[in-house]
Amino acid sequence: MDARLRRVNKEIADCKNDKTSNIRIELIDESPFHLKGSFPGPQGTPYEGGNFEVDIVIPESYPFQPVKMKFITKVYHPNVSSASGAICLDILKDAWSPVLTLKSTLISLQSLLCSPEPNDPQDAEVAKHYTTSKSSFEETAVYWTQIYAGGPGAKKSKESASASVARDEVAMAGLDHAHVRRFVGLGFEQGKVIDVLRRLNYRGKNIHNIPDDKVVEELLKP
């Protein structure tokens, strides 16, 4: 039997038998080389209570080349792209070793959620948010966990979700409602205000470094 197939089958079976790690690997379609992994958000982090799904593609030369992984679930994290779910983690690139398994890699992802590396960011805007104001970043991360990963309080927010879509967007971008309202009051569209403020990292102490003129100037750009 093909060594790659044997190995992948064994890894999937091992993961099924292991009830303690809470890591799950499922098939997406018939192919054993395209999988979906999932793990719970680590405790004591903004991701606690969420369930995070990961898209796994096993390359031809696995396990001698690293697996390709990206988050299916949206995650607010400096090392994960908030748009595509791409992950910045050394063992998925040059630090890969053939003895690493799907399970151990997923565990590494889990611990990546515990310890972000803002100095080597995948998503620069999120990383800026993290370094500027950790508490504000965590609020947003919790919010994303609720919305996308089915975190605690998800039901509550779902009920009111449709009623206050606007509020959602502000919180999603990790911004302060008062700030957004102020610029919307000047006659700018809310979506644009959120976009500009997020780009400028209009958060925490950083606000004092950004004069209103600068914001308005950005807002006026087509």
Q: Catalytic residue positions? A: 88
Euclidean distance between CA atoms 40 and 129, whole angstroms: 24
Residues 153-186 as b/e (b if ≥16 CB within 10 A, e otherwise) read ebeebeeeeeeeeeebbbbbbbbbeebbeebbee
Closest separation in Å from C-beta 108 to another protein: 10
Which of 90-98, 168-176, 191-199, 212-220 is the region at the interface with another protein (rule: CB under 8 A)?
A: 90-98
Euclidean distance between CA atoms 106 and 54, whole angstroms: 8
Spatial strand order in the sheet of 34-40: 24-27, 34-40, 51-57, 68-71
**Contact call for residue 97 and another protein (CB under 8 A):** yes
Contacts of 197 (CB under 8 A, 6+ apart): 173, 175, 179, 180, 183, 215
**Contact call for residue 111 and another protein (CB under 8 A):** no
Euclidean distance between CA atoms 83 and 93, whole angstroms: 20
Euclidean distance between CA atoms 25 and 67, whole angstroms: 14
Closest separation in Å from C-beta 2 to another protein: 10
**Contact call for residue 17 and another protein (CB under 8 A):** no
Closest separation in Å from C-beta 13 to another protein: 10
Closest separation in Å from C-beta 24 to another protein: 21
**Contact call for residue 22 and another protein (CB under 8 A):** no
Closest separation in Å from C-beta 91 to another protein: 8
**Contact call for residue 98 and another protein (CB under 8 A):** yes
Residues numbered 150-209 forming contacts with another protein, rule: CB under 8 A: none
Contacts of 48 (CB under 8 A, 6+ apart): 41, 42, 145, 151, 152
Query: Which two structure tokens, joined as six digits, stand for 10?
Result: 């064994």
Q: Of 4 and 167, which has the nearer Cβ to another protein?
A: 4
Q: Of 112 and 196, which has the nearer Cβ to another protein?
A: 112
Euclidean distance between CA atoms 157 and 167, whole angstroms: 11
**Contact call for residue 10 and another protein (CB under 8 A):** yes
Q: Of 2 and 159, which has the nearer Cβ to another protein?
A: 2
Q: What is the CA radius of gyration of the chain?
A: 20
Number of residues that bind another protein (CB under 8 A): 13
Residues numbered 53-72 forming contacts with another protein, rule: CB under 8 A: 61, 63-65
Residues that bind another protein (CB under 8 A): 3, 6-7, 10, 61, 63-65, 91, 97-100
